[in-house]
């Protein structure tokens, strides 16, 4: 029976545990590049024991960013920063992963920590830091995303698929060993699947097969350049929680098609293609686990889930019960770069410090002295043999 700390192998890649640092937008890039900030931030999570480490969603085009302070991989001159991040993650014992994406209708924003209220704010297209967003149809998202959007032409859709492939090539050159495509949370991929956002009358709209075509062609384009030995995964907006939008039952069918096109693991999340959701479950622990498990059973593909899985006992349970294969942690990873070590101690793992680099682990496992000085919570002093 697996547990949270069991290795996990997919294709030729083996993770040291089932704990994943989930992509989190950090608004800390200049010209889309990664720099010392990202080396420090992501290297710390690898050193803290995370088996798989993602940076933020990396835009495949400049207009695919959320803000002009967001990172990307649309240009060869961005590879160097990504290579530095990959190198530090590997040195600290983790596997470097990249998430490719395009924000679609949810772009042209001001970083939320720079707004007057701390809430999201979309910038108009004529603002120096703004642009006109693109989408499957000229249908604005609503709410704060109130500015007109432009419908993509078929030629532009084909160009975006080439952009995904070009970004995947750069990711490989940088040293990534795991590639995920972000087709959830109301971003471009998710909006193609949702009838709320996709009103097209051509081969990319209407039926489920047509609405999933963007996903399948994107997978084909990336799979053509991404080595088969490395995992190709997708974060999927599987449910809009709105009867007019993406329905989970349809997503299960579509994921089966995606598996046939080279998808190795499904990372289940919400569609978020509309602010009008029925009974949104955002405060419920692990609310995506049940949906992910159904995909695991019915499609026969490994799955990952996020959303409110930061309590170690909950995270461990969903692995032990074989409901999901990987646990994705975003905010918990931001809060505690050593979350895996903390979780191991909470769960009485026999060697929690085995998850940090060997030299650090030696000091923490062998030093005896004044326990509070070491920085461990008092409740853990006895079981670590310190003091």
* CA gap 293, 298 in Å, rounded: 9
DSSP 8-state assignment for residue 352: G
Assess contact for 188 and 135: CB atoms under 8 A: yes
Question: What backbone torsions phi and psi does residue 173 show, to the nearest 5 degrees?
Answer: -60, -35
Tokens of 74: 């649309």
Between CA 357 and CA 114 the distance in angstroms is 36
Active site residue 204: no
N- to C-terminal Cα separation, the chain = 34
Task: Please state, in angstroms and rounded to a whole number, the distance separating the CA atoms of residues 334 and 312.
Answer: 15
The structure tokens listed for 275 are: 């602010």
* Residue 124 DSSP code: P
Residue 161 in tokens:
């698929």
Single out the catalytic residue among 27, 145, 176, 187: 187
Q: How far apart are CA 297 and CA 282, in angstroms?
A: 24
**Cα angle 246-247-248, degrees, rounded to a multiple of 5:** 120
> Annotated catalytic sites, by residue?
187
């Amino acid at each position: 029976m697996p547990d949270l700390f069991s290795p996990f192998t997919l294709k030729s890649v083996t993770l040291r545990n089932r704990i994943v640092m989930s992509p989190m937008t950090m608004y800390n890039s200049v010209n889309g590049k990664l720099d010392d900030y990202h080396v420090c931030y992501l290297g710390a999570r690898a050193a803290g024991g995370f088996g798989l480490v993602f940076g933020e969603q990396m835009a495949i085009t400049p207009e695919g960013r959320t803000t002009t302070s967001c990172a990307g991989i649309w240009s060869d001159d961005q590879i160097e920063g990504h290579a530095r991040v990959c190198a530090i993650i590997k040195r600290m014992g983790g596997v470097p992963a990249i998430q490719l994406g395009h924000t679609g209708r949810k772009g042209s924003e001001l970083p939320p920590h720079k707004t007057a209220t701390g809430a999201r704010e979309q910038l108009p297209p004529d603002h120096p830091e703004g642009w006109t967003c693109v989408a499957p149809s000229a249908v604005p998202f609503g709410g704060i995303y109130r500015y007109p959007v432009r419908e993509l032409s078929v030629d532009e859709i084909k160009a975006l698929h080439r952009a995904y492939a070009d970004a995947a090539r750069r990711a490989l050159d940088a040293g990534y060993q795991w590639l995920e495509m972000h087709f959830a949370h109301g971003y471009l991929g998710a909006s193609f699947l949702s009838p709320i956002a996709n009103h097209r009358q051509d081969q990319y709209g209407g039926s489920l097969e047509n609405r999933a075509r963007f996903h399948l062609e994107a997978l084909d384009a990336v799979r053509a350049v991404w080595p088969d030995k490395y995992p190709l995964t997708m974060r999927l907006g599987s449910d809009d929680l709105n009867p007019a939008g993406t329905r989970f039952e349809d997503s299960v069918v579509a994921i089966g098609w995606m598996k046939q096109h080279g998808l190795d693991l499904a990372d289940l999340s919400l569609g978020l293609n509309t602010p009008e959701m029925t009974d949104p479950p955002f405060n419920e622990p692990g609310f995506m686990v049940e949906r992910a498990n159904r995909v695991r059973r019915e499609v026969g593909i490994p799955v990952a889930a996020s959303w409110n899985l930061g309590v170690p006992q909950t995270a461990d349970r969903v692995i032990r019960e074989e409901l999901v294969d990987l646990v994705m942690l975003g905010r918990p990873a931001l809060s505690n770069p050593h979350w895996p070590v903390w979780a191991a101690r909470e769960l009485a793992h026999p060697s929690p410090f085995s998850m940090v680099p060997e030299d650090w682990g030696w000091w923490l496992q062998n030093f005896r002295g004044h326990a509070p000085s070491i920085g461990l919570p008092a409740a853990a002093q006895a079981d670590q043999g310190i003091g």
